[in-house]
Structure 1
C-alpha cells in the first residue's frame, strides 16, 4: 500500500512537466515539434492569430519568421489549447482555462 502511495505522489509531482504538451491522436505535441506534425495529428486549428515575427541572421542572410497562435478546441480530454508556432516549429503549448 505504501508503494502505491509513493507512486501516486511521484505522478502528481511529475505532472507539471507535462504542462507544455498536448496529446493528439496518440502523439505528444511539445516545443520543437514541426508545424507539419501539428497539422497531421491535431488537424486544422479552430483559429489562427498572427502575433509577430522574428528576424534571424545566419551567415549574412536575414530570414524573417512569422509567429502565430493556433487555437484548438476540445483536444486532450476535451480541453482547449493554444499552440505557439514560430516559423516551422512549436515554441510553446498552453492549456486554456
Structure 2
C-alpha cells in the first residue's frame, strides 16, 4: 500500500497568505491522506471548500481521504455551513488512534 500522508490543520486559517493545507494537498496528490482537525477552533467556508474539493478528487481516484480527531466544534462548523456533522465520518476515521498502518 502507498504511504499515508498526514497533516494537522492549524487552529485558524492564515489570512495573510496561502493556507498550509493547500501545499500539503498538492504534495500528497495520488496518495492516501489523513488530516487531523483536532486543533481547528472555527471552521470557515474557505477551508471547508478546500476539504470538499479534495475529498471529491481523492474519491474519484479511489484513494483514502480521511479527516481524523474530529471535535464537536468542527462538527458544529460543518452544521453551520450546511453539512451534516458526520459528513466526513463515512470517509474514514473519527479519531487519530484508529489510523490504519
Which TM bucket (shorter chain)? Answer: under 0.3
> Normalising to structure 1: TM-score of the pair?
0.26
Q: Which has the larger radius of gyration?
A: 1
> Between Structure 1 and Structure 2, which shows a larger proportion of helix residues?
2
Which structure: greater strand fraction? Answer: 1
